[in-house]
Amino acid sequence: MPARTTALLIVGAALFAAGAAGAAGAAGAAGAAGAAGADDAQTVSQAVTAGELFPPAQAASLAYTLDPARPVIFHVRVPQTASPHGVLIFVSPRDDAEPREGWADVLDRRNLVWISAEGFGNDRRTSQRVLVALMAIKHLQRTLPLDRDRLYVGGMSGGGRVASQALARFPGFFSGALCIVGADYVTPESALVPELATKRVVFMTGDGDFNRREIRRVYSRFLDVGVMRSHIIDLQDFEHQYPDAEQLDAALELLDRR
């Protein structure tokens, strides 16, 4: 196993163990967060480093993947609804990190926090982008009460590929994945298959998407490994593109089915 993958797995295990404690601490901060959220929800930038989120030895083990002192800028939008909140960790194919037009209303209605890292598009290594998705969970756990059954990782195009890989490699951290016009199948470790099989995955493509055939194949592979709550949305007149608000809402409706 490559050293960078081993380092991610080590820190992943530590993050999972810290999850309950982080959620408990966030619950104590819920009152202050609620008071601060009296205004309409807005997307804010928050900087954090791996060195802040992980113990020194674990952060150092990730140096090959990401400098522990390098700030990662997350764009975060918290809906003004009752906690605990669900989360959509979004991996963009480009360096931008803002929700698309019309998405904010959908996320608010579904009580989903938006968090996306600026500057981690398709030119970054997959291992970096997966690590940043794990960092997003850890970061939110410090300040917000989260619904552990609604922690979704999603992405578009190359970001969708990262989302599918993150779920397969770290099923303990996510409730499901939303893969928009991009997805990969990586063979999960045998010990992870039972947990992966409990997850929910939505693949989105269309008749004009050049990745359509590959996405349908990845969808079938997830079913074959036992992820029976996998769904595919195959749209007419839909190219290699982002979904509009209505299409996003339909995908999230499938992810929220338990």
Domain ranges of the chain: 3-255
> Of all residues in the chain, what percent carry a pLDDT higher than 90?
83
pTM comes to: 0.88
d(CA 182, CA 160): 5
d(CA 161, CA 152): 14
234 beta partners: 205
Range in 2-11, 60-69, 91-100, 162-171 the model is least confident about: 2-11
Closest to 137 measured CA to CA, from 206, 189, 85? 85
Q: What is the pLDDT of residue 15?
A: 54
Which position has the token pair 């969708």? 160
d(CA 148, CA 160): 21
Convert 29-62 to b/e letters by CB count within 10 Å (16 or more is b): ebeeeeeeeeeebebeeeebbbbbbbeeebbebb
Which position has the token pair 């756990």? 141
Say yes or no to pLDDT of 25 above 90: no
Q: How far is CA 5 from CA 16, 61, 131, in A?
A: 16, 11, 10
Kindly report the length of the chain.
Answer: 258
With cut-offs at 50, 70 and 90, classify the pLDDT of residue 8: low
Q: Reply yes or no on domain 3-255 having CATH 3.40.50.1820.
A: yes
Q: What is the pLDDT of residue 41?
A: 76
What is the rounded average pLDDT of the residues 168-195? 97
d(CA 129, CA 136): 11
Provide CB contacts within 8 A for 23, sequence distance 6+.
141, 145, 146, 148
What is the rounded average pLDDT of the residues 234-254? 98
d(CA 202, CA 94): 21
What's the whole-number average pLDDT of the chain? 89
Say yes or no to pLDDT of 30 above 60: no
Q: With the C-alpha atoms ordered 160, 42, 107, 17, is the resulting torsion angle positive or negative?
A: positive
Looking only at the bridges linking them, the beta strands covering 43-48 and 72-77 are antiparallel
Say yes or no to pLDDT of 104 above 70: yes
